[in-house]
Amino acid sequence: MAGFPARDLRVIGFLLALLSLPVHADPLFVRVYGRTYKIDPRYPSDEQKGPTPQEAMKALPSDLAKGPGFRPSHEQVLAEVEERLWIAQNRLDHALGKETASTERRNAGPDPKAVNQELTESLATGAIPSRSPELQKIFDQRRALNLLARELRRSMDLPVRTPEAGFSRPKLSPEIEAGYRALNFNPLEAYYGFRRVKAAFRSGDIDLLAQVAHYPLTVTGKAKRTIRTREQLRTAKDAAMDPRIRDIVAKSTFETVFVRDKGMMIGEGEVWITHDQTGFGLGAINLQ
């Protein structure tokens, strides 16, 4: 069979190139923490395909648009979204782990990684809402927050992908950095530890708090308790997640915490974030 003339090949190549261009779509506008942001309506290349971004964004927390009573900076908006994303991602990881273990028990020994991958792909397409609606809801919210966080970072000329630490690198003043280095602390590690503990308290999820705690953890109220395991911390949930303590942590900022050789003090000593060989984590809760 005769080949195509060179001119026809050029025409075919041009048509294929046109077909490969992304279809035009109007940008999305999302209100976050009282400010409005433009969102790219196309999925990033490394995100699992599913519903359109327009549909995916409907899973954002309903209260996310509410303003805080002041005009937040872009950095504060990003911090708000990343905090919620950290919570959603860790809840998803926990839920996937439980679902994977349950599937393994039912099917006698499939590869856990393969089960996890299959579950994730099904969640991305919305294929299993009837079987596990709560897991689907967690996945959808994590995806929406991730898409939003990426666009916020892009608008601020930051690396788009979620950082390994879970939070974007902060701009710390030389004075703050010097204060931590004088105590032989890495200021960035301290910052990330502070953000994780703050997010865990905010979540109200004792499993997330147990994840960021150092053991033994002391909880002091009318009596002093020494918490040695995650299970013991779950049992002490009411004390650990005391509303007053959570409010104090929520209002704290990294720039204003007191730091000494023991670690970081939040409030008047209600919470201590301590340092060990694993990094910074929740070390003490004082209810009095």
**Domain region containing 237:** 199-286
pLDDT (tens digit, 9 = 90+) per residue, 84-115? 999 999 999 999 988 888 765 566 556 778 87
Residue 130 has pLDDT above 60, yes or no: no
pLDDT (tens digit, 9 = 90+) per residue, 162-182? 899 999 999 999 999 999 999
Q: Are residues 143 and 216 in the same domain?
A: no
Q: Are residues 47 and 6 in the same domain?
A: yes
Q: Are residues 207 and 132 in the same domain?
A: no
Which residues, in sequence order, are CB contacts of 178 under 8 Å at separation 6+?
none
Q: Are residues 30 and 104 in the same domain?
A: yes
If phi over 0 gives left and psi between -120 and 50 gives alpha, with beta otherwise, what is residue 152? alpha
pLDDT at site 18 = 41
Q: Are residues 41 and 155 in the same domain?
A: yes
Per-residue exposure over 256-275, b if at least 16 CB sit within 10 Å of its own CB, e if not: ebebeeebbbbbeebbbbbb
pLDDT (tens digit, 9 = 90+) per residue, 215-259? 999 999 888 999 999 999 999 999 999 999 999 999 999 999 999
Assign residue 231 the CATH number of its domain: 3.10.450
pTM given for the model: 0.85
pLDDT (tens digit, 9 = 90+) per residue, 27-47? 789 999 999 998 877 777 767
Structural domains in the chain (count): 2
Which of 151, 169, 187 is a domain's end point? 169
